Amino acid sequence: MVHFVGAGPGAPDLITLRGAELLRAADCIIYAGSLVNPALLGLAKTDCALYNSAEMTLEQVLAVIRRQEKQGKNTVRLHTGDPCLYGAIREQMDALDALHIPYQDVPGVSSFCGAAAALNAEYTLPGVSQSVIITRLAGRTPVRSAESLASLARHGATMVIFLSAGMLAQVQTALLQGAYTPDTPAAIVYKATWPEEKIARCTVGTLAESGAAAGICKTALILVGDFLSPAYERSKLYDPAFTTGFRKGSGE
Ligand code: SAH
């Protein structure tokens, strides 16, 4: 059996209890070595086979899994953050289906949650934005023109931009083609929840220069929107005047 496991954003104690249990029990761990914190491999049994998928192709990953399955062994496929975002899990799952190898997916804390925590921020503030757009600039992986950063930026919603810290000037230009202004607050969060975490708070107009000044060009998220401004409306949920399914409000 194969367990796809979300490793969390970096800090080793941010993996789920289920994920940690599976790492302890694994006969084989194939980990995304470019981003997974190697400290998590310390949970593995001493005779656990370890493979760094950063140096492997999909075919090589599948060959390792098939070998383990033939011997009746358990494999953990350890992905950074949550496997469902930019994890390339679908192609692995489809191949496993074709091979009749069973698998399950164990979620993890995505780096976009780690980055919000690093900033003590809430992405969905009443009166500011109730939507979070998770996206990226095209790199070697193309992005459909309907999802271009400039077109998504027209919404002026909270934005979390993955895989684009090496292209800050292009990110800045695209954002300014949308609803954001040079004064819209932004932040670049490098290695959220790792000991070497770095935060560069800036504005859309100073994104590129702030990233360069902080020396950040990879393993970072770009966060954009007025959720980083001081102004917002308080929630209805905890408003004394507001009645909910659990509490009678004073105003009604
Ligand atoms: N599945 C992962 C994302 C993998 S794509 C998740 O849920 O987080 C890899 C990209 O994620 C990086 O280029 C970077 O943009 C972002 N990333 C991953 N870990 C990060 C971290 N700890 N801090 C900031 N960005 C991170």
* Model pLDDT for residues 195-234, shown as the tens digit of each residue: 999 999 999 999 999 999 999 999 999 999 999 999 999 9
Atom of ligand 1 lying closest to residue 85 CA:
1
Edge-to-edge order in the sheet of strand 198-203: 132-136, 158-162, 220-224, 185-190, 198-203
All structural domains of the chain? 2-109 (3.40.1010.10), 112-228 (3.30.950.10)
Q: What percent of the chain has pLDDT over 70?
A: 100
Residue 246 Cα to ligand 1 middle (Å): 37
Give the separation between CA 58 and CA 55, rounded to whole angstroms.
10
What confidence tier does 158 reach under pLDDT thresholds 50, 70, 90?
A: very high
pTM equals 0.96
Ligand 1 pocket residue status of 86, Cβ below 6 Å: yes
pLDDT tens across 67-104, in order? Answer: 999 999 999 999 999 999 999 999 999 999 999 999 99
CA distances for 248 relative to 144, 233, 239, angstroms: 48, 21, 11
Separation of CA 197 and ligand 1 centre (Å): 12
In the sheet that 103-106 helps form, which strands lie side by side, from edge to edge? Answer: 49-52, 28-31, 75-79, 2-6, 103-106
CA nearest to 225, candidates 100, 163, 109, 132 = 132
Task: Give 162 Cα–ligand 1 centroid separation in angstroms.
Answer: 6
CB of 51 closer than 6 angstroms to any ligand 1 atom = no
Residue 143 Cα to ligand 1 middle (Å): 18
Tokens 């800050």, located at residue:
168
